[in-house]
Amino acid sequence: MEKKLIKKSARRAASRNSDSKGRGDKRGSSRSDEGKKPKSEFQPKKRDTWKKEYEKKPDSAESKSSAEDTGMVIGVNPVQALFADANRPVEYLAVAKGAGGKRIQDIVEKAREQGLRTRFVDRVAMDNMTGGLAHQGVVARAGIRKQPSFKQIMAKVVDNPKALLILLDGVEDPYNLGAIVRSAESFGAVAVILPKDRAAALSAVAAKASAGAVERLDVVRVTNLTRAIDELKEGGVQVLGLAGGEATVISQAKFDGPVALVMGGEGKGLRRLTRDHCDQLVSIPITGGVGSLNVSVAAGIALYEVQRSRGG
């Protein structure tokens, strides 16, 4: 009797093992078949991915870039400068419905004098037009401003003992670029020089940050910044790089003849190659715990120091 029960139990165990093995083979076969299925050409994004992309803030870097290099001029100061200096043709002017004040009225009148018809649009449409930038109720579109060549800038500088240039080494934030152009124009610089690579675009963002100074000051791009520095030095221009550490305090530097100030990029400062090509490195003394200044702030201080030392 015991032998029969043992044999019966063994048969049941064998049967269970066979069933589980068969099921395992089927599951394995199913996974294998799924892996061999061709991928669909259209694979919809997950719902949360769509939501994240749709809900991006309008003042994000990506939305701001939509206003870059489109010829858009945004805000009261930039648009006023655009009409006042007339360095490039204006295609149209748009004013938000309900926007008023003497400055906007003056802009509309300038547009009328140039034969431009002002478009009045609602603020939502203007918000979309500017990618979320603060537009103050006025936007214009203009042609590209023709910039001089580096050789032409050199010709203005080498024979002018009071000439002042700003060179930017890796400044990639358009707000910083605009603020530096604003300071450079305020302190009488001839131009801002920056490389074609690793540099912010002269965009609507930069133009607004400059408060319209980009319409009055030349911003010139060069292929090789260190080569441009060498050419300036050969032309008798004193090239000073802004750096920290043991560099000479800028108030102790002598500014003899035309001067070019070289500013490093955000976070990294001047590249080693750029530092090596400068005539001298100068620094702005800092007593606080932060340890460094924003590049646009440093540029403003350096520009003022040059002007002060020259008796300006």
Q: Which CATH number is 160's domain given?
A: 3.40.1280.10
Same domain, 230 and 81: no
Same domain, 204 and 251: yes
Residue 156 forms part of a structural domain: yes
Residue 224 forms part of a structural domain: yes
Same domain, 88 and 166: no
Residue 157 forms part of a structural domain: yes
* pLDDT for residue 220: 96
* pLDDT for residue 149: 95
* pLDDT for residue 70: 65
Same domain, 157 and 108: no
Q: Which of 142, 166, 191 is the last residue of a domain?
A: 142
| CA–CA distance, 269 with 102 (Å, rounded to integer) | 43
Residue 2 forms part of a structural domain: no
Same domain, 288 and 173: yes
Same domain, 209 and 262: yes
Same domain, 184 and 98: no
Residue 137 forms part of a structural domain: yes
* pLDDT for residue 219: 95
Same domain, 204 and 138: no
Q: Tell me the two tokens of residue 254.
A: 């002598």
Same domain, 78 and 115: yes
Say if strands 238-242 and 259-264 run parallel, antiparallel, or are unpaired: parallel
Residue 263 forms part of a structural domain: yes
Residue 163 forms part of a structural domain: yes
Burial class (CB in 10 A: 0-12, 13-18, 19+), 178: buried
Q: What region, left, alpha or beta, does residue 157 occupy, with left being phi > 0 and alpha being psi -120 to 50 degrees?
A: alpha
Q: Which of 142, 170, 193 is the last residue of a domain?
A: 142
101: domain range? Answer: 64-142
Same domain, 76 and 203: no
- pLDDT digits (tens), the chain, 312 positions: 444 444 445 555 555 554 544 444 444 444 444 444 444 343 433 433 323 332 333 333 333 333 445 688 999 999 999 988 777 888 889 999 888 789 999 999 999 998 888 999 888 888 888 887 889 899 999 888 888 999 999 999 998 999 999 999 999 999 999 999 999 999 999 999 999 988 999 888 999 999 999 999 999 999 999 999 999 999 999 999 999 777 899 999 999 899 999 999 988 899 999 999 999 999 999 888 777 899 999 999 999 999 999 886
DSSP the chain: -HHHHHHHHHHHHHHHHHHHHHHHHHHHHHHHHHHHSPPPS--PPPHHHHHHHHT--TTSHHHHHTTTTS-EEESHHHHHHHHHH--S-EEEEEEETT--SHHHHHHHHHHHHTTPPEEEE-HHHHHHHHTT---TTEEEEEPPPPPPPHHHHHHHHTT-TT-EEEEEES---HHHHHHHHHHHHHTT-SEEEEESSSS----HHHHHHTTTGGGTSEEEEES-HHHHHHHHHHTT-EEEEE--TTPEEGGG----SSEEEEEEBTTTBS-HHHHHHSSEEEE----SSS----HHHHHHHHHHHHHHHTT-
* pLDDT for residue 14: 52
* pLDDT for residue 68: 45
Q: Which of 118, 142, 166 is the last residue of a domain?
A: 142
Residue 88 forms part of a structural domain: yes
- Give the bridge partners for 79, in sequence order: none
Same domain, 297 and 168: yes
* pLDDT for residue 34: 46
| CA–CA distance, 48 with 211 (Å, rounded to integer) | 39
Same domain, 81 and 158: no
Number of domains in the chain: 2
The CATH number linked to 82 is: 3.30.1330.30
* pLDDT for residue 51: 30
